[in-house]
Structures are given as structure tokens and as C-alpha cells.
Structure 1
Amino acid sequence: MIISLLQPPPETFDLFDDVILLSEGQVVYHGPRENVLEFFEIMGFECPDRKGVVDFLQEGSGSFLHISRLGSLLLPAAAGRTIVAANTLGTFTLLLVFILGGYIAATGYGTLRANDAEEAEAIAVMRGMEAALSIGMYRVLLLMDCLRLVRAFRNCPEDLSWGPLTLAPDIRALAASFLALRHLTWPPQANVPEIIYVDGDSVSFTAAQSDFSFDHLSGNHPRKAVEFSGLTSQLLPLSSATTGIQYPLLAVRVTLFPDSGICVGLTMSHTSGDGMAWNQMERYWGLVCSSLRGETPSLLLDLLPSFDRSTIIDPHGIQESFLKYMKKVNITQQSFNLPSSATTPTDPSHVKLVATYVIDLPHIEKLKKWVLSRIIEKNKEEPSFKLTSLVVTCAFVWACLIKAMEGNDDSREHFIISVDCRTRIDPPLPVTYFGNCLTYTFATVNKNDLVGEDGIVLAAESMGNAIKTILEDVLANAPNMLEVIFEMANKGRLAGISCTPRMRLYEVNFGWGNPKKIEVISSSAGYGWLTMCENGGHANKGLEFGIALKKHQIDVFTSFFEDFLSSL
């Protein structure tokens, strides 16, 4: 796969079977190479006179850095910065992808301005986001909801050039074991969307290099959310004449920070699996990489995914309820069509910062004792629910979050809590089951109560009681889950957690050691969404929370967070 800012010469297309053309992040052509020149004639773009691929890359990028010994990884660069290095994996069809936006923005065939690469990348990212958002809120959640996760590794070998080349072949075997090679589509003959695999399907794998500060990105301090956009790839849909629109399930982007570290950015679709399933995939991938370096982890067999759905019983009619609700919100075969146009959001107030906050174990224990004493003082009895570290820390962070956010004092605040059902249904599923096996429960508190003196206590009581109720029958509320979620979002503000310590995010090891920092970029998709995991991979050091807010909200949140912990 080659991504370029200029239009390639005809000879370049001869290297490929199929061609996908993106214009500002949207697919404008997908078909055989024989017809691509006709497409250019219709669109009015003429191919420049160049002799070969190397000439094109040299002229188009300003400098030709490297052609891999594998013969399939091309690293062109512009303005001293790597644009793209990509490799299609496990396919019989090579794809040529290039960005017309960069060509249009350039001053001419033979020149590129210093910032053209950044502009083209920004255009592609922006257009991809617009395409998803303009589809509609429901479709984004059900069909395009992605977990965008970045793992930053430090103390790697000085020469990291081998890293992406090692990761790329390993993912072939990985994808064969998981659903990663497949696509989400809605065939004309099917009544429901399907995840399918056809010969030639691939996983997008991109290797890049950055001179940005690795220490800045992997810190806990507030950072601009947009600074992480270049560390992951978009899951751009493809158009096929036989199956229609197809949505990929996984995209991988590895970024090298010379003399500093390396980032592995994963974009994963929740349509095929929940966070637990995808994290199992990452751990398996890491073990595969480690085994190629002479190690033979016994966990490889233990982490093999299970796709067996034959034992799943649906006494509540969950599938039928979901299909009816999808139809109600106009999610049909026709809704899979890409939007024809979109507008660009330019409001600077949408700029958000991401930050990580740590609560160590001593403060968690103090917080539990404080909440317990206030509950007993208020109710004259011990709580009927289990007052866990998860409950008290989420209650505390939720209260700080609502204090930092604008809104009416009489509004209803909702906090969504996900529950893994694998071992809680009858019969239970194996912990390695790959798929979506979640249900949700909600804590609800009035804002004026939540920001009051006993706000943390009320939040803890609401969360604890909600968890206690859902664990009695985890699937009882599942049929109406979607309708309830959107009703709450429409009538009040909905916050929640997208990751929990049970996922053990820091245990992924590609042979370079455990990650220095993990960022779940999807937490910046909406205000109020949090990520929570063990602090730096060490549960005995407490918990860390990731949030995304505006600058002034971050300041207010930090003030409440630090002041309360220091008062315990």
C-alpha cells in the first residue's frame, strides 16, 4: 500500500490489481486498475509525465528515504517528515491509496509546500470524522463505535527500525485467529448486518516516524487531544459492487520516536468485540511477538479466542429487540451508504485536552473509610451493597467531573457502568470468548445533589445499588438497553467508563517490556467519558483515570480533585 500526496503516473498503477482512491478521507473510486485512468479523465485530472515509481516518489515527496528489503514497504517523506509507510497484510490484492486533497492543495505537479503533508493529513482525518458523525448518532454508536488506543513503549532498543517490520508479519497469524481480517457489511440477501471474510481482505498496517516529544505524549499532564490523532488510523469504509459498503474492524499504526520510544496505535470496531475481547487479542499478539524472539509462552494456548456461540441462549429476546430498535432509528441496509457531503466544524470551543489523574492505594482506602462513615452517619446502618474501590473512586471522579462541567443545577446526571457477562450468564462463556458480551446499568443523581456536600456519598450509593441489582440478573434489562441509553442521553447528561482495571491494559508486551503509558483516545469522543486502569500497570500503586475536557474545565476538575484528596 502506498499513500501519496500527488497523482501517480500510469506505470505505478501497473503494480497493483485493485485501486482505492480517497478524496479528503472518502472513497471516490474502488475498482480494477484498468479503469482508473478513465476515472481520471472523467474527473479532469491528467497523469503527469513520469517514468516510474521511484521518480514519482522522489518528485512527489521531496526525498526518497528508503525501500525496504522486503520490497513492499515504501517510506516516502515530505518536508523532512514521514508521510506514510504501509503494508497490506495477508492479502492477494495490493492496494494503491493516495490523497487527492494533497494534490489539489499543492502549488503544482512538481512542488509541495512545507505544510502540505500536515494539511492533507488533517483533511483526511477531519473528513473521516465528518463522514461518521453525519451518518447519525445511532449509527456511530452501533456500527462505527471504535476503541482508539495508543500504547507508548519506552526503553526500547536504540535501533527500533526492526519493530514495525516484526509486528507486521506477526499480525497475519494473529488476524487468522481473530476476526480482524473480516468486515462489517449488510448483504442484500441478509436481514441483519453480518461480519464476513472474502478472499483478499486485509488489515491496514501503517508505520510512521515522528519527531514530536515522546515524553510529552506519554505524560499525565493536560495535552491537546488533537496531538494523538496522528498515532491511530481511521477505519474508513470500502465500497464493493457485490457486498456494498464494508467497514473494517481493525487498523494498526506504529509510530517510531527516534531515541525515545515507539507507539502502537490500534483502532478497533466494537461491532465485532468488546474491550475485553480486543484486549485479549492484543495480549495474544504480544505473546506471538515475544515467542519469535526465542520465548515460548505457555499462555499462547490459554489466550486462543473462542467464537462458539452455540451455547448462547436468548430467553429475553435481545436480538429481536435490538433489530426493532435499529429499524426504529432507521438503521437499515440503505443507511450503510456513505453521506454525499459534510460540513467542517470549526468552533474553537470544541478543542479539548486529555489528562490522566492518579489515586494511590492509601488515598483509595481513606476514601472508602470516609464514604462508609458518611453512609452510616446518614442512614444509621451499613450499606446493603458492596463498597468497592471501583465504586468509591468512580463516585469521587464523577462528582469532580460534574463540578467542572456546565449545566443546570436541576438537571439529572447519569453514569453508565458496563458489566462483563461472560461468566455471569447460564451457561457461562469462556473468558476468551471473542465478541460483545456486555450489559449496562446506570447511576442517576440530581446535579445539585451531586455537587453538594454529600455528592460523593450519593454517587457511591447510586452506583453500588445499581451494580447490586444488575448482578442479580445481568440480562434482565438488556432488551431495552439501547432505548434507555439514548433516552438518558436526551434527557440528561450521560457519563461513563470505557475501560476498567479488569482489562489489564498494561500487560501487553511485544518483547519490549510493558507499556510506559496507555491512552484510550475514544475517551475524547464525548464529554464525561472516562478511562480507568491500574496505575502504570501496577495495581498495588492504585488507579489512573483518563478524561477529556476543555481547558477551563480541566482546571476546575484538577482543583476539586487535588483539594479533596489532600483533605482526607
Structure 2
Amino acid sequence: CWPSREPRVPPRAVALATPVRFEVADHEAPMAPAPAPLQHVTVLDRCEVSPSPPAAPGQPRALPLTYFDLVFWDFPPVQRVLFYGSAERDLLDVPGFLRRELPLFKASLAAALHHFYPLAGRLPCELPAEPEVACSDGDSVRLTVAVGGDDFGDLAGDHPRDTARLRPLLPPLPSRGRGSWGVFAVQVTVFPRAGICVGTTLHHAVADGSSYVHFLRTWAAIHRRLIGADKKVVDVVPPLFDRGVVRDDSGLREVFVRELAEAGDERLDDWDLSRRPGSGGVVLATFRFTEELLGRLGKRVESETSARRCSPYAVACGAAWAGIVHARGGNGSNCNARHQFGFVTGCKPRASPPVPGNYFGNCLGLCCVEEAEDGHGVGLTPSAASAAIWHAIEELAEQGRALRDARGWVRLVRECAAARAVTVAGSPKLGIYAAADMGAPWGRPRKVEIVSVERTGALALAENHDGRGGIEVGVALPRGEMEAFRAFYGDLVAGLR
């Protein structure tokens, strides 16, 4: 939902595009050309799923957006796809899925929305003086049911895939009339004899990754109980909607509303890879940083910089940041070239007083790191990038540091977009693979992708899906830049052997 225009969500396209993952072993192989004709997604139904039972009468009917929420008002919706494979092929017959699985899918979604009913609410398209998520009786979430004709295994891979193949797996935010839009939408796409894909679209001003995973964990637990995969009573940790727990002694909410209104139609399009002319198509790939690889990279950071230690998060982000700078053409020939990296930090424990962990909404602080090329033909190295990020993280330990520059956050977002700063979406700490365990026959997702990084230029971070530690990093780049990034990653890994 963006002021004065429909949400910038990909239209109901029919062509599928796939993000690709790279394995270390094939880093020297040329990247495959874009697949020839793309297959189609056939929409079978669009229905509305309401919270069941409805929200209790005493629950608030409007959730004011806090200054934390307003920082993300102009961001594209966060769009994820979760791929579930099943060994029980008979369950993947489309009529059988519609008859047996879909009713349980709808029932568990409705039950989860009972606890997270604001996800069925709506936001205004224009930014009012008092922005809020409005909730009322009869609210619902749009659910799209579809059949996919693309290669499920390829779509759920790590190798570079054309993002145009993934977009049809994602639902748009629906219009709710009278100048408002829904804030959350779901799509389930069945791939016969292969698996299912659950796509979600969420307005970023409504919730951050922590709140999204809280909802997903609740939904999955209810689904496991409904299908009999979990005999335990579902112990739902209720979300906290009380906006009074977010202190705003400096009046940041009013400042941010004014700044967003003054910005008018200035968007964050400088980040949007899909709008960049001559990009040659955008592909999405996943690069896996195992614990062993992170350990070796961390030791290199300590030996090549002044950092005494470096967290796995900083190591993975630094390596990916340096790789993107290299892919864009940064080669160390310009000692005046400066590159920016933006990341978020959880502010619930850092606020004063601390915000409860089950608070629903956004509660993230913005951090920005700037690093220069060395001018000696080396460019931004992974070690220098990782050390710079780690230094910024260490500074956050200072009391009040995370919120010290909060007044400039709205302006910082636009400056980072204009500078094409590399940013981060998701976090390995969220534990999304475990949270999304729907029970047999689907179990945990075999792959989760944040497809919307195509439009924010962000790195998509998650824990490695195999549960053995490490971090997976999703990267979206124009095809030519992805070739360069892939080679950079391969050389980095080879140099540590």
C-alpha cells in the first residue's frame, strides 16, 4: 500500500520465475541461460478467510502506527515463498489436495488470525495525520488457491533463478474500498506430484520479521494440531497489541508523519532492480555459509583487521556486501569511492523500558555503515566489510545507542536508497524454518525465499534449513552482476581451503 497509488505488488502475472542457489562445487561453471518459455500458474479460487472465532469484543479495533512502523511506510510489501515437498505423492493430486488438505489449511489460518486479527485489517492508501491499522467485524485475509506448472525442484533450489518465475506465486494486497488496502494476503500453489508453495505478502508498516514469524509459528502449531501431527494442546503465546509499551518522549511519530507527507511521491525506486534499465533480467540465488566457512572467514577478519573477534552475522553480511560491490564494478581503482551497508537491530530489549518480546508491530532500529575502497586495486574486501559491520554492532551495546539517531531514520532510508546501499532483510535468529513446520506430510519448508529483495536490493538472511548451523544468504542481482558475484563467492571459498 503506497499513498496515492495501488500497492506496488507484482500484478497477477501468470509466468513463474525461480530463484537459484549455488553450490560451492559448481562455482566455476557458467551460469545457465534463462529458461525458455516460462510455465503458467492457474488460479483456481480466491476466497476470504476471516478470524475464527472473531476477535474478542475487548480487543482494540484500531492499532495506531508507531514511529517504528512509519519508518517502513513507503517500503514495498515483504513477500516470502515457502516451498514444502512431500514424499507422499498421492497427496499431491490436485483434486485430493482441494478435498483433504485445503479445508485444514483454511481452518488453521482462520484460527491463527483469531489471535493475530489485525492481519485481516486495512490501511489507508494516503498517509493520514493519525495512521492506524483499522479492524472491524467481518475483516478477512484474501487467500488465492492455484496450480503451478513450473519445475518445483528448480524453483526451490539455490542456483540463480529468474525472479519473473517466482512472482506469480505471490498474492497482491487486495483493495478494501474507500481508499484502503488489506495488509496481508496468502497464496497456496499446488505443484502436482511435487509439493506446495505458500506465498505471503505483508505490508511492512504493520509488522517486522519477528512479528511475522510469531504469527507463522502460531499458524503452523495450530495446523499440526488439526491434522493430528501434534497431540499436545497448542500453547499460543498471544501477541501484545498495546501501543503504550512503545515510548515516544521525543514526538518522533509526529515528525515522521510530517516528513513522509513532505516527501510526497518520492519513492525508494533507486533500490528496485526490476526497474533498472538494461539489467538483463534479475535472478535470485542462495549462498550458504556453513559454520566451518564462517569460522575460517572470521579468523581471516581477525588476522587482516583490528577486530579482535567478529560475529557470524557480520562475517556473512560483510562477505556478501563486498561481493555485491565487486559485482557492480568496484575494483579498488577509485580511492574516493564509498559504499554503504544498512542493517536493522532489534529494539525490544534496547528500549527503556524494554518492550515485551511478544509485542506485535515493528520494533527495529536502523544502522548504517560506510566503507571506502583502498585505491590499490583491491576494492572493498570481505574482511574490511565484516570488520566495519562488527564495529557498528559492538557500538550498539552502549546504553541508548540504538535509538540515539532515531530522528533521522526516515531521511536515512531515502539516503540509503539513493546511494544504492546494500541492506538486510530477515535474520538467522528468527528461526523461520522451525517456525513454519506444518507437520506431516509437509513438515518444515525445504526452502524459504524473500522474493521482495528484488525491489529493496537487500540480502535475505535465514538460518541454514538443514538445522546444522550456519547462515543462508539470498542475493538478487541483474544476471550479469550475478555472474560476477558468483565468481567472487567461488574464489572466496576456494581461497580458504
TM-score bucket (shorter structure)? 0.7 to 0.9
> Would you say 1:396 and 2:319 are equivalent positions?
yes
The superposition leaves residues 258-291 of structure 1 with CA deviations (integer Å, 9 ceiling, x where unpaired) of 1111111111111111111011101110001001
Contact 1:316 1:476 in 2 (8 A): no
Aligned to 1:257: 191
Structure 1's 199 and 505: CA in aligned 2 closer, same or farther, altered over 3 A? Answer: same
Contact 1:187 1:193 in 2 (8 A): no
Aligned to 1:159: 91
Contact 2:133 2:206 in 1 (8 A): yes
The Cα of 1:81 is off from its aligned counterpart by 6.6
The Cα of 1:303 is off from its aligned counterpart by 3.0
> Would you say 1:534 and 2:482 are equivalent positions?
no
Given the two structures, how large is their TM-score scaled by the length of structure 2?
A: 0.78
The Cα of 1:300 is off from its aligned counterpart by 4.0
Contact 2:225 2:232 in 1 (8 A): no
The counterpart of 1:142, out of the listed 53, 73, 81, is: 73
The Cα of 1:456 is off from its aligned counterpart by 2.1
Question: Could you tell me how far apart the structure 1 residues matched to 2:380 and 2:120 are?
Answer: 50
> Would you say 1:374 and 2:304 are equivalent positions?
yes
Structure 1's 300 and 479: CA in aligned 2 closer, same or farther, altered over 3 A? Answer: farther
Aligned to 1:547: 475
The Cα of 1:446 is off from its aligned counterpart by 2.0
> Would you say 1:499 and 2:419 are equivalent positions?
no
Aligned to 1:101: none
Question: Could you tell me how far apart the structure 2 residues matched to 1:346 and 1:439 are?
Answer: 29
> Would you say 1:84 and 2:44 are equivalent positions?
yes
> Counterpart amino acid of 1:415?
F
Question: Could you tell me how far apart the structure 1 residues matched to 2:251 and 2:185 are?
Answer: 33
The superposition leaves residues 289-324 of structure 1 with CA deviations (integer Å, 9 ceiling, x where unpaired) of 001123557684353211122232223332122122
The Cα of 1:459 is off from its aligned counterpart by 1.3
Question: Could you tell me how far apart the structure 1 residues matched to 2:321 and 2:376 are?
Answer: 9
Aligned to 1:227: 165
Aligned to 1:418: 344
> Counterpart amino acid of 1:363?
L
Aligned to 2:408: 480
Aligned to 1:324: 258
Between the aligned residues of both structures, percent identity stands at 25
The secondary structure found in structure 1 opposite 2:181 is: strand
Structure 1's 451 and 396: CA in aligned 2 closer, same or farther, altered over 3 A? Answer: farther
Contact 1:441 1:470 in 2 (8 A): no
Aligned to 2:112: 174
The secondary structure found in structure 2 opposite 1:493 is: coil
Question: Could you tell me how far apart the structure 1 residues matched to 2:44 and 2:407 are?
Answer: 44
Cα RMSD (Å): 3.0
The counterpart of 2:328, out of the listed 399, 405, 408, is: 405
> Would you say 1:429 and 2:363 are equivalent positions?
no
Aligned to 2:25: none
Uncovered stretches (5+) of structure 1, i.e. residues with no partner: 1-23, 27-78, 93-138, 336-343, 377-381
The secondary structure found in structure 2 opposite 1:255 is: strand
Structure 1's 297 and 425: CA in aligned 2 closer, same or farther, altered over 3 A? Answer: farther
Structure 1's 525 and 140: CA in aligned 2 closer, same or farther, altered over 3 A? Answer: farther
Structure 1's 415 and 458: CA in aligned 2 closer, same or farther, altered over 3 A? Answer: same
The superposition leaves residues 212-269 of structure 1 with CA deviations (integer Å, 9 ceiling, x where unpaired) of 11001001111100000111111143332xxxx1121111000111111111111111
The secondary structure found in structure 1 opposite 2:104 is: helix
The Cα of 1:191 is off from its aligned counterpart by 2.5
> Counterpart amino acid of 2:109?
I
The counterpart of 1:361, out of the listed 263, 272, 291, is: 291
> Would you say 1:517 and 2:473 are equivalent positions?
no
Question: Could you tell me how far apart the structure 1 residues matched to 2:238 and 2:159 are?
Answer: 37
Structure 1's 191 and 347: CA in aligned 2 closer, same or farther, altered over 3 A? Answer: closer
> Counterpart amino acid of 1:442?
C
Aligned to 2:390: 464
> Counterpart amino acid of 2:358?
T
Query: What is the number of equivalent residue pairs in this alignment?
Result: 422
Aligned to 1:557: 485
Structure 1's 513 and 501: CA in aligned 2 closer, same or farther, altered over 3 A? Answer: same
> Would you say 1:212 and 2:135 are equivalent positions?
no
Deviating more after overlay: 417-426 vs 453-462? 453-462
Question: Could you tell me how far apart the structure 2 residues matched to 1:199 and 1:517 are?
Answer: 35
Contact 2:225 2:234 in 1 (8 A): no
1:438-449 equivalence runs, <5 A? 438-447=364-373
Question: Could you tell me how far apart the structure 1 residues matched to 2:241 and 2:41 are?
Answer: 42
Deviating more after overlay: 448-457 vs 316-325? 448-457
Question: Could you tell me how far apart the structure 1 residues matched to 2:278 and 2:40 are?
Answer: 29
The secondary structure found in structure 1 opposite 2:397 is: helix
Structure possessing the higher relative contact order (Cα contacts under 8 Å, 6 or more residues apart): 2
The Cα of 1:83 is off from its aligned counterpart by 3.0
Given the two structures, how large is their TM-score scaled by the length of structure 1?
A: 0.69
Structure 1's 559 and 412: CA in aligned 2 closer, same or farther, altered over 3 A? Answer: same
Contact 1:234 1:267 in 2 (8 A): yes
Structure 1's 420 and 141: CA in aligned 2 closer, same or farther, altered over 3 A? Answer: closer
Question: Could you tell me how far apart the structure 1 residues matched to 2:383 and 2:41 are?
Answer: 51
Contact 1:450 1:458 in 2 (8 A): no
Structure 1's 140 and 165: CA in aligned 2 closer, same or farther, altered over 3 A? Answer: farther
> Counterpart amino acid of 2:143?
F
| Greater per-residue helix proportion | 1
The Cα of 1:426 is off from its aligned counterpart by 1.9
Contact 2:225 2:233 in 1 (8 A): no
Aligned to 1:183: 122
Contact 2:122 2:180 in 1 (8 A): yes
The Cα of 1:468 is off from its aligned counterpart by 2.0
Question: Could you tell me how far apart the structure 2 residues matched to 1:450 and 1:301 are?
Answer: 58
The Cα of 1:176 is off from its aligned counterpart by 2.1
> Would you say 1:279 and 2:213 are equivalent positions?
yes
Aligned to 1:5: none
The Cα of 1:546 is off from its aligned counterpart by 0.5
The Cα of 1:345 is off from its aligned counterpart by 6.7
Question: Could you tell me how far apart the structure 2 residues matched to 1:164 and 1:405 are?
Answer: 44
Contact 2:328 2:481 in 1 (8 A): yes
The secondary structure found in structure 1 opposite 2:421 is: strand
> Would you say 1:294 and 2:224 are equivalent positions?
no
The Cα of 1:195 is off from its aligned counterpart by 0.7
Contact 1:317 1:479 in 2 (8 A): no
Contact 1:186 1:194 in 2 (8 A): no
Structure 1's 140 and 223: CA in aligned 2 closer, same or farther, altered over 3 A? Answer: farther
